[in-house]
Structure 1
Amino acid sequence: MAINYLMEECSRNLATSTRKGLIPRVYRKMNITIGKLVSRLAGGSHIRKTELKLAIELVREQIILELLDGNSVTLDEFGTFSVSAATDKAVTNPDEIRSASIYVKNVNFIPSPRLMKRMETARFERKTK
């Protein structure tokens, strides 16, 4: 098990030399969907696949509902989901803005210390083009 990477030119090299810098870019092998994840977790049992898929979908929907209610959601030892907000208009007085002009800027995920510790064991392999 290894993470593949490619080396590519850094587009924002702040160095004063004229030489371009290189940075590693993770090359994703595939995107694991809920269906693929369930298949990998379930092994071969059809009933177990159905139950796993339903459980994942229920957790996903509840996370969405909690975020829509202004809560953050921590999945212990995995990480925390939260929402950030923005507006198109810069204001100096809070009375100048209405709630209708505020929107969700992003759904953020902060990995737990345990997840980050596990990621320290990652192995990297250079992918040839």
Structure 2
Amino acid sequence: MSAYYDLYETPSPNGKGGKKSLHARICPKATYTKKEFVERVATFQHLPKNIIGAALDACIDELCDLLANGNIVELGELGFFSTSLKCTQETDDEKKKIRSESVQFQNVHLRISSTFRKRIKQAMKLERTHSPTKKSKKVKTTEETRKERLMQFLQKNVCITKSEYIQLTGLTRHAAIDELNGFVRQGILRRRGISRSTVYIRQEDTPEEKSRL
């Protein structure tokens, strides 16, 4: 299994144009709820779900209590939990008194251990994808132009995937799939496979070719 990522343009810090650099960002496959996480741990670690759930709740309660009392908590290879504060009243004078009411809790921080980071790095396998939520540049080509590019691609290749068509045309994932399915309905393409293994191949006898016979 792989973790999917996509590339995004990094905004220029001074707001000027020019060549933009790219940065990689994970495209999450799913968000696990507490129940789903407990079920996964129970399945793969062979432990009772009720014990895992109760232990997790107890750990969260104790962690909250220790952090609220100004402690730092280490949870094994995971790392260190700590808290940060903020002052609601600004001042640059150390002698000026700031009342305790003006000092408030701000956030909880987790400093991941080097061992935990190393375990993730060793286990992670990355695969490029196209995020469905990523904003794409406005496509200026027409459907006819994109169809010509598609036919040229299929003359050199047996089939085309959704990701390849996105790269070929610059369309968003949703728009690319809609257009490919439209070509299938027109009899230009045939769909093979299901889900992520779906590919599109050229229909041997398209309506245009039939009209020439």
SS of the aligned residue for 1:128 comes to coil
* TM-score (normalised: structure 2): 0.54
Given the superposition, is the C-alpha separation of residues 66 and 119 from structure 1 closer, same or farther in structure 2, using an over 3 Å criterion? same
- Give how far 1:85 is off: 0.7
Given the superposition, is the C-alpha separation of residues 10 and 89 from structure 1 closer, same or farther in structure 2, using an over 3 Å criterion? same
Bigger fraction of residues in helix? 2
Letter of the aligned partner of 1:39 in structure 2?
A: E
* TM-score (normalised: structure 1): 0.86
> Which structure 1 segments of 5+ residues have no match?
none
Bigger fraction of residues in strand? 1
1:98 paired to 2:104: no
Structure 1 ranges of 4+ moved more than 4 A? none
Larger radius of gyration: 2
User: Counterpart in 2 of 1:30?
Assistant: 30
Say whether the 8 Å CA contact 2:12–2:20 is kept in structure 1.
Answer: no
Given the superposition, is the C-alpha separation of residues 21 and 53 from structure 1 closer, same or farther in structure 2, using an over 3 Å criterion? same
> Which structure 2 segments of 5+ residues have no match?
132-213
Given the superposition, is the C-alpha separation of residues 100 and 94 from structure 1 closer, same or farther in structure 2, using an over 3 Å criterion? farther
What value does the CA root-mean-square deviation take over the aligned residues? 2.3
Q: Sequence identity of aligned pairs in percent?
A: 27
- Give how far 1:17 is off: 7.1
Letter of the aligned partner of 2:61 in structure 1?
A: E
Aligned residues: 127
Deviations 1:43-72 (A, max 9, x none): 29xx91111111001101110100000001
- Alpha-carbon distance in structure 1 between the residues aligned to 2:12 and 2:100: 36
Between the two structures, name the one with larger relative contact order (CA 8 Å, sep ≥ 6): 1
